Structure 1
């Protein structure tokens, strides 16, 4: 079976991706600043260490690249740019040098610009938001993901097949307490309120995705038939938000009629559907989310129904 390099394999997301690959028979090499718990081969180094990354690429069929500063609260702007942009360049450059033909890049829905108020967040132009929507990144983390996608496209034009997965906030098991705490008192919520690894995220609409679903999306991206030199990207989310209000109601309360609702039926069929259009992920990648965490909020104020 082909050997896959997973950068960030010891992290919150990486552990789920490694488990998904192992369950499907892949040989996995992990790359991280600390070895994780999985019984695989590990390269322990920083993703900006070009020589360490080069060595880790030897004998590799494909790369799943998710090593990064994960949000704007985890480092200052300079650190985010160094790790997320220089690290992504280092990974793609080493992969090309080793003749690797498939790289899957962990991007973020933050490229659309509607995730954190600290980034002077602009509202979306329309909903559902699809791949034609302009990128409106304003904070260092979001900008680092836009630049990462630019690098991904550049290397696809050089002959790789490359995919970018624009994931929303990942609702790890460690985040469940934070999600509940936010739902109980959204006005006064500050994190970590109950010891979670970070704040409950997902932007104004409280998007989320289960780590098991996202790990499966990475495997599907690895296995997707593609031509050499092809690039594709996908918005990924649970099928529902964690907000108390239906999506259109929440958008209108926050932005009035500034956001065009292009497909009202999309939200009639599923009132709590995400901002993002998941059609491309379903039709091209074969990804349909199987999990959501709204059950955690049942009975809380605003979630009685």
Structure 2
């Protein structure tokens, strides 16, 4: 489990420990609290291939959700892509057949575009073109290409989960309040969406069950952060975007249909209602 001390890594680790799994929790920093039973904490830099290989020995599966910021775009791109390569290379060398990597809807390119553009169509699904213009988004496209290479070369099963903004419900509710105060243009590039961290953690668990090669899947909430109808928002801020099917009310402009088909994943959390009570 890489990025184990981060927001998502902490939740994923706790989820697996609760299920009775033994977790090797890898991060560049020591845990902020005591290490739980069933968890082995390893401090390692993922750009160090030897350290990554040592950490993965004896593991049956890998979940790679670590990401690094950097003092420059070059550093951010280099560290993110080399970390993913090292993790998957170590997994392949150790005969680990299943891996999950954290990707992002940023791979589609709109979020941090230097020359802003609109999606070709909505709801945005995994067949939409990937046209990144910045280092972070480009690193996610490269990470997915790296995963495909290991699937093709080693017969591994790897799922790249394209998360939106990862947040706990209180953070999401605060963001919705800011959006209401500041107006919808503040999140028009993101299409007003989010991913609740517990939903993201469950998707990581489900993705380890994939046995048919590579998949890249959107993992987003079913609703938007705005109280305005999503179709109205798209018409106002993305008038050239083709609406391929109706989007009812404040439903998300991102499609998670493929995640439901491949993983049987349906988001369980909404900032409006909390837990949706979905039994999946």
Query: Does the pair score TM above 0.5?
Result: yes
Runs of 5+ consecutive residues of structure 2 not aligned to the other structure: 275-280
Change (3 A) 1:126 1:290: same
Q: Distance in 1 between matches of 2:62 and 2:254?
A: 26
TM-score normalized by the length of structure 1: 0.82
Q: Distance in 1 between matches of 2:90 and 2:102?
A: 17
Partner of 2:75: 79
CA contact 2:224–2:250 (8 Å) conserved in 1: yes
How far did 1:83 drift?
Answer: 1.6
How far did 1:162 drift?
Answer: 0.8
Aligned with 2:257 (options 263, 268, 279)? 279
Q: Is residue 272 of structure 2 the alignment partner of residue 294 of structure 1?
A: yes
Partner of 1:220: 206
CA contact 1:182–1:189 (8 Å) conserved in 2: no
CA contact 2:120–2:241 (8 Å) conserved in 1: yes
How far did 1:114 drift?
Answer: 2.3
For 1:88-127, what per-residue CA distance to the aligned partner results, in whole angstroms no more than 9, with x for missing partners? 111111111111111111000111112235x433211011
Q: Is residue 43 of structure 2 the alignment partner of residue 44 of structure 1?
A: yes
For 1:27-80, what per-residue CA distance to the aligned partner results, in whole angstroms no more than 9, with x for missing partners? 11100011223421011011111111010010010100111126xxx6521121
Runs of 4+ residues deviating >6 angstroms: none
Change (3 A) 1:238 1:101: same
What is the Cα-based RMSD across aligned positions, in Å?
2.2
CA contact 1:202–1:208 (8 Å) conserved in 2: no
Q: Distance in 1 between matches of 2:169 and 2:10?
A: 12
CA contact 2:109–2:132 (8 Å) conserved in 1: yes
Q: Distance in 1 between matches of 2:59 and 2:273?
A: 40
Aligned with 1:239 (options 191, 200, 222)? 222
TM-score normalized by the length of structure 2: 0.89
Q: Is residue 91 of structure 2 the alignment partner of residue 113 of structure 1?
A: no
1:273 is paired with a residue whose SS is coil
2:11 is paired with a residue whose SS is helix
Runs of 5+ consecutive residues of structure 1 not aligned to the other structure: 1-5, 191-200, 297-305
Equivalence map 1:254-265=2 (5 Å): 254-256=237-239, 258-264=240-246
